[in-house]
């Protein structure tokens, strides 16, 4: 109940929405969706909120805006807690399937392809995340699909993310159907939900950088660059949709299933907001 009471105070503080964030939220219902204009508006918002922080630095998430947390994070990076997940992911990635083929037969010689995901598959009419692509590779080669959020799939994703470091997101939205999926993800992001009546932007745009109990709210710009992530409270590496579920639960809303259309479109929108930014995953968070 202490968390709820404190969150109620936090909610009261976000009733007066800043004009810039309000314009972004209002445009979620605009049928003339313009993803690139949205991305630029978000970048402008962060330039105004944090004029002394370079936009490229937001790839580091909350560590870009909190000097003390950044110092602790950089020390932790000497022996990062996700290192074992990378090693295990590499072994899994290079282990041949029973039919003699491997992930390289699906993805090519370079596993560093995370900067291209999620993508919109025109043939199937929906968003494909990297985790879906990994499991489809397995199933096409006679292997069972892996659980979506943690474990071996997250380890393989961590290895592929590590090999994608230094590359920039190159997310394409190049058809009316892709725009519609993006717009659905955007609508999800700016829709209030749960008993707490929060939207994603409540914490990550309107009150970004402020304290919510013991946590500093992280910036939405660059949110997609660090995943998958080792979180101290988890004690393992998990994918971004695990965090989506956790956030929904924290605002007392019913979470959606992993890789549901809702979460895939949300990931598509959120990643496009970081388009052009450098990947630095896997990451570590509290």
SS (HEC) of 61-114? HHHHCCHHHHHHHHHHCCCCCCHHHHHHHHHHHHCCCCCCCCCHHHHCCCCCCH
**H helix intervals, the chain:** 2-13, 19-26, 35-49, 67-76, 83-94, 104-107, 130-140, 152-162, 176-189, 200-201, 240-250, 261-272
Q: Which two tokens stand for residue 113?
A: 């392809």
Active site residue 200: no
- Model confidence over 16-48: pLDDT tens digits? 444 455 556 655 555 578 999 999 999 999 999
pLDDT(107) > 90: yes
Structural domains of the chain, with CATH: 2-79+177-285 (1.10.760.10), 83-162 (1.10.760.10)
Q: Is it the case that residue 9 has pLDDT exceeding 70?
A: no
- The rounded mean pLDDT for the chain is 90
Q: What is the maximum span of the chain, computed from C-alpha positions, in angstroms?
A: 59
Residue among 120, 167, 134 nearest 274 (CA)? 167
pLDDT of the residue at 3: 38
Q: Is the pLDDT of residue 136 over 50?
A: yes
Integer Cα distance of 56 and 277 in angstroms: 7
What mean pLDDT comes out for the span 94-123? Answer: 97
Of these residues, 106, 200, 203, 247, which one is catalytic? 247
d(CA 218, CA 215): 9
Band (7; pLDDT cuts 50, 70, 90)? very low
Q: What is the pTM of this model?
A: 0.90
Per-residue confidence band for 153, with pLDDT thresholds at 50, 70 and 90: very high
CA atoms of 238 and 244, how far apart (whole Å): 11
State both tokens at 91.
């072994």
pLDDT band at residue 257 using 50, 70 and 90 as cut-offs:
very high
Please enumerate in sequence order all residues whose Cβ is within 8 A of that of 91, keeping only pairs 6 or more positions apart, or say none: none
């Amino acid at each position: 109940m202490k968390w709820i009471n404190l969150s109620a105070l936090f909610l009261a503080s976000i009733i007066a929405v800043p004009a810039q964030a309000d314009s972004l939220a209002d445009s979620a219902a605009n049928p003339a969706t313009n993803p690139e204009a949205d991305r630029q508006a978000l970048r402008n918002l962060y330039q105004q909120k944090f004029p002394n922080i370079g936009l490229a630095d937001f790839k580091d998430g909350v560590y870009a805006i909190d000097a003390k947390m950044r110092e602790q994070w950089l020390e932790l990076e000497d022996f990062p807690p996700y290192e074992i997940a990378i090693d295990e992911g590499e072994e899994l990635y290079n282990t041949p399937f029973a039919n003699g083929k491997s992930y390289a037969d699906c993805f090519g010689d370079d596993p560093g392809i995370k900067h291209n995901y999620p993508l919109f598959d025109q043939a199937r009419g929906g968003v494909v995340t990297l985790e879906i692509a990994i499991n489809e590779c397995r199933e096409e080669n006679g292997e069972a699909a892996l659980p979506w959020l943690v474990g071996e799939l997250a380890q393989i994703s961590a290895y592929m993310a590590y090999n994608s470091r230094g590359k920039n997101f190159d997310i394409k939205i190049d058809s009316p159907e892709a725009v519609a999926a993006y717009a659905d993800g955007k609508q999800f992001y700016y829709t209030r939900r749960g008993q707490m009546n929060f939207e994603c932007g409540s914490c990550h745009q309107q009150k970004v950088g402020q304290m919510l109990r013991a946590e500093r709210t992280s910036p939405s710009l660059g949110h997609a660059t660090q995943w998958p992530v080792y979180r101290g409270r988890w004690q393992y590496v998990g994918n971004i949709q695990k965090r989506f579920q956790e956030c929904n639960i924290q605002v007392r809303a019913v979470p959606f299933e992993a890789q549901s259309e809702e979460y895939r479109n949300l990931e598509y929108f959120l990643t496009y907001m970081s388009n052009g930014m450098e990947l630095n995953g896997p990451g570590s968070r509290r």
